[in-house]
Structure 1
Amino acid sequence: MPGKWGAARPVRGLAALGCWALLLVVLLPVLILQSTDARFGAATAVQCVVVVHTGAALARVLTDVRARLIAFGFWLFSYVWLGLAPLAMLATDAYPRGFMVDAHTAFLTTLVVEAGLLAYSAGSAVAMWRSSRTSTVLEPLLARRLSPARVLLLCGLALLLAVVLIPGQGGLSAFFLSRQAANEAAAAAEPAGTADRAMAAWLLSVPAFWALVALVHVPRFTAGDRTLRGLRWLLLPLLVAVNVTVNNPISQPRFWAGTVLLALVFSASWLRGPRAFRIGAAGVAAVVLVVFPYSDYFRYDKREPVKVVSLAEQFTSNGDYDAFQQVETGVDYVRTHGFTPTAALGPPLFFVPRAAWPGKPDDAGILLARHAGYTFTNLSAPLWVETYMWAGFPSVIAVFGLIGAVGRRVDYLRHRLRHRRGTLAALVVPAFGFYQLVLLRGSLMAIVGPLALLVCIPLLITRKAGRRALPPSAAPTASAPEPRPRREALSLPTGGART
């Protein structure tokens, strides 16, 4: 019987992979091309390769024997925003923005995108080959455990920030206005204080989000530690109310609101297993393809009735899918102005004020908007074009190869730590996995500040795990599943925070 079931599992896995590949690589692209007056050229041919690459990789993630959240976020964005959407644009020569490029620039853009994808795949493959080796940096980092005392301090800080900052943001009602109304009110009240208001908004949103996630995942106990259990039930409804206020999809960008919701869902213990993850990831992919185009209903004051149109029409008319066109704009910018290696210093040194650094690089999205002649500058700058603007193909390959290697390693370590409650891996990996959609869409200068806050807060509320808490370094096998470790007691210290 074991041999029979062992043989059946690979067959089912291959069948599922084949079904997903058929849907993503064949049916959806054909549906898009059939609904348009398709034109084919060199750029369209390379774009078909991109669609096959991203669709096959996404299908592999959706049928993997491990839950790979980092890979899922990357390939989902790549397939939709840089696979299907550009296929519709190139086939129809229709774009959501006004700036147009020639055929050579479009062809070069598809090569830039595919170069990044190949580098990511290569980096991931190298990391998979070395997965059985112990990581002296990532493994102890992701194995860090929640400190109850620090979690409670964060909860108190999040509630204090809500009390102090919400009135300055316009009161509770301001968080339930459309983003258009909120931005207009902010500009009218403080025309020069946009950056300060944005920072205050993130200081409200990110700590409140992490306080709720951490409080949910502090280990529960059947006996003892009544103080912790009592404080949990007292704080949970307050933090839920704060998050509904400051992280709702009405006043917040959909990418961030989606990150908050999906991180809460996918950090749950019942979704860490491969089977549950595959079901949840398939649901997310369906929502992104079908629901996301219509999810900006609350973005504007004047809300027209929802009009359902084809995917091809959404991709070519909706500005939310401008990623490929922005890459084209960046390639055209480089052809005109050349590479700007110093721009790579902007994101890591985002905290340096322009008064102290007069030559600080501009935000890439703003730079591309100026080059295209747009009157609005709040635009994306996908990671592909930012890295290309630094030094061309070498910088694209280096950055995406590194991202692929680190992402695969993080997914592997989260799989090994999946049975341990309250680890950094259980919290950060789901959050970063979905925040990747914001990171990949760019621009880096616009999101690196919130990203730093998103990463640093979990580090501050966790403590180093003991050597005995780390799982064995040998890679698990299909025939010998990892034993479920005993739950370790973790209680509030009586004489101050334990470090």
Structure 2
Amino acid sequence: MAAVCCWALLFIAFLPALILQDADARFGAALVAQCVVVAHSGGALTRVLTDTSVRLVALGFWLFVYVWLGLAPLAMLATDSYPLEYRTGESTAFAAAVLTELGLLAYSAGVALAAARKNAGSAVLEPLLSRTLAPLPVLLLCGLSLALAVVLIPGQEGGVQAFFTSRQALRQSGADPDLTHALRVWALAVPAFWAAVGLVHLPRLPGGDRLLRAIRLLLLPLLLALNVLVNNPISRPRFWAGTVLLVLLFSWRRFSTPRAFRVTAVALTTVVLFAFPYSDYFRYDEREVVHVVALAEQFSSNMDYDAFQQMQTGIDYVRENGFSPSAVLGPVLFMVPRSVWPDKPQTTGIELAQYAGYDFHNLSAPLWIESYLWGGAPCVVAVFCLLGAAGRRMDDIRARLWDRQGTLAALLVPAFAFYQLIFLRGSLMAIVGPMLLLLTVPLLITTRAARPSRLPSPVRTPATTGPAPIPGHRRHP
């Protein structure tokens, strides 16, 4: 109870008060609605950090909401300062805050529904997450990752040095940031990551694994070096590099205990709150001296926190152009080229950036505004209710399987939990390809878990009524 009170005071009272103190806050309907969002997300994050069970998916969701759609919009509304040029009225800001809270209520309802119906959906998810790592597929993936590195790295613009060069320098050097280039990079990064994780967590064979241990000792240094090359935070986005590190951390059995989870989750929350804005140090070739500024100024001036402003832009876009139900097909059929599908929907972040008149199009489009563009508030409710139910089910199944070594739940649930930060931030069409690759590769290196035996228990001879007769004695009536 003491921990609950302390974290609740920090998330719901102290940090919002610190932001409002740094700003000349003018309370209006939008700011009041945003305070409700902060209280809801801060209370939910408090529950995750003080729960007696490990909830990785819940941690990823509520951490994103509290920072990007809780504190950051609070600072923007309080200071009337935004990282981008586009401006909306008070009614649009109020609608964006209400839309955020609507998604949170739907998510909480989905979680409650999944908690009440504990067996619903387990017939599909539990057999899937119960799959275990298999030695031969893991070793084949290791070989494939090393082969891809030998084939693709020499053809990379700039060679090996490009992987330790900032993304700004790569763009200025003329490296082609097209779809082929992106596919080449992800084809190196994701298999190399899962090969290393699979090799580390591969269960021991019951009959002895001396040969397997020797192969592991041979391949593991090569795969670790390959991951340093293709998954480092210098040339790769911070969200992806962070996902790689967090999956390696939380797939470790020691961090499956509630106490270790709470300590690590608190450290992660602190890093995201105070260090994330400065973690783009390697993104630019010309690095300036890091200036630490007040939290309110950081949230209201850094383009990393453009999610709430993009939601406002999306609401104005719908008022002018109406809903776009066909846009839902874009993420689903993302692999279809535009030469085959000329009317393929545009990436939502780019669509909103063009509508606002920006020259820079690499902007976010949170899942709230993505689903709102599809069909309004009912779509938002449906999407987040399903997301909440699925997230709670994944956390529950992982908790039930935590004592089994090398399960898909131990690997896939952390991967989805922390890739959520990219998934929720959007745009969907920009991240659905890497996300599909991230979640599909582990399926290829696992095998179906052995079903528990359903043989009937040995038949016991029914006991005779009354005590058994003693040999040599007659039973008296």
CA distance in 1, matches of 2:444, 2:119: 29
Q: 5 Å matches for 1:99-110? A: 99-110=86-97
Say whether 1:283 aligns with 2:273.
Answer: no
Instruction: Say whether the 8 Å CA contact 2:239–2:422 is kept in structure 1.
Output: yes
Corresponding residue to 1:174 among 151, 159, 162? 162
Structure 2 partner of 1:487? none
The C-alpha deviation readout for 1:393-416, integer Å capped at 9, x for no partner, is 000000000000000000000000
Residues 75-474 of structure 1 mapped to structure 2, 5 A cutoff = 75-132=62-119, 135-169=122-156, 170-185=158-173, 188-190=174-176, 194-220=178-204, 224-468=208-452
Equivalent residue letter for 1:163: V
Which residue in the other structure is 1:50 paired with?
Answer: 37
Bigger shift: 348-357 or 453-462?
Answer: 348-357
The secondary structure found in structure 1 opposite 2:155 is: helix
Deviations 1:6-65 (A, max 9, x none): xxxxxxxx2211111111001000001001111111000000000000000000000111
| Partner deviation per Cα, 1:161-192 (whole Å, 9 max, x = no partner) | 1111112222110010111012222xx254xx
**Stretches of structure 2 lacking an aligned partner (at least 5 in a row):** 455-477
Which residue, 43, 50, 54 being the options, matches 1:67?
Answer: 54
Give the equivalent residue in structure 2 for 1:483. Answer: none
Deviations 1:470-494 (A, max 9, x none): 9xxxxxxxxxxxxxxxxxxxxxxxx
CA distance in 2, matches of 1:469, 1:353: 48
Encode CA deviations 1:111-137: one digit per residue, 9 max, x unaligned.
Answer: 111100000000000001112567110
Which residue of structure 2 aligns with residue 475 of structure 1?
A: none
Cα distance between partner residues in 1 of 2:311 and 2:181: 29
Cα distance in 2 for partners of 1:196, 1:355 equals 15
Q: 1:140 to 1:221 in 2, by over 3 A?
A: closer
Distance (Å, rounded) in 2 between the aligned partners of 1:47 and 1:155: 48
| Distance in 2 between residues matched to 1:201 and 1:133, nearest whole Å | 38
Give the root-mean-square deviation of aligned CA atoms.
1.3
TM-score, length of structure 1 as denominator length: 0.89
Note the C-alpha offset of 1:466.
Answer: 1.0
Q: Secondary structure at the match of 1:137?
A: helix
How far 1:220 moved relative to its partner? 3.6
Aligned-partner residue type, residue 358 of structure 2: Y
- Cα offsets for 1:444-465 (capped at 9, x unmatched): 0000000110111001111110
Letter in 2 for 1:179: R
Match of 1:39 in 2: 26
> Counterparts of 1:335 and 1:133 in 2: how far apart (Å)?
38
Q: Is the 8 A contact 2:114 2:120 kept in 1?
A: no
Question: 1:351-403, CA deviations, whole angstroms, 9 ceiling, x for partnerless residues?
Answer: 11112111111100110010110001111111000000110100000000000
Structure 2 Cα separation of the partners of residues 353 and 334 of structure 1: 26
Secondary structure of 1:374's counterpart equals coil
| Counterparts in 2 of 1:87 and 1:138: CA distance versus 1, 3 Å | same
Q: Residues 257-309 of structure 1: CA distance to partner in whole angstroms, max 9, x if unpaired?
A: 00000110010000011111111111100000111111111111111111111
Deviation track 1:222-265 (CA, whole Å, cap 9, x = no partner) reads 97221110111111100100000000001100000000001100
Distance 1:365 1:469, change over 3 A: farther
Local SS of the residue matching 1:354: coil
Separation of aligned partners in 2, 1:48 and 1:34? 14
For residues 469 and 412 of structure 1, the distance between their equivalents in structure 2, rounded to whole angstroms, comes to 23
User: Per the alignment, do residues 38 and 134 of structure 1 end up closer, same or farther by CA in structure 2, a change over 3 Å counting?
Assistant: closer
1: distance between equivalents of 2:52 and 2:79? 39
Give, in whole Å, the separation in 1 of the partners of 2:221 and 2:159: 20
Aligned residue for 1:4?
A: none
Aligned pairs, how many? 453
Partner of 1:477: none
Distance 2:3 2:316 in 1: 41
Distance of 1:279 and 1:131 partners within structure 2: 28
SS at match of 1:183: helix
SS in 2 for 1:350: coil
Relative distance call for 1:406 and 1:433 in structure 2 (3 A) is: same
- For 1:147 and 1:175, how far apart are their aligned partners in 2? 31
Moved more, 346-355 or 219-228: 219-228
4+ runs deviating over 6 angstroms: none
TM, length-normalised to structure 2:
0.93
> In 2 relative to 1, CA 469–424 (structure 1 residues): closer, same or farther, beyond 3 Å?
farther
Alignment CA distance shift 1:469-1:331 (3 Å): farther
**Taking every aligned residue pair, what percent have the same amino acid on both sides?**
64
| TM-aligned CA deviation for residue 469 of structure 1 | 8.8
**Letter of the aligned partner of 2:309 in structure 1?**
Q
The unaligned stretches of length 5 or more in structure 1 are 1-13, 471-499
Find the aligned partners of 2:52 and 2:58 in 1 and give their Cα distance: 13
**Largest Rg, 1 or 2:** 2
Secondary structure of the corresponding residue to residue 136 of structure 1: helix
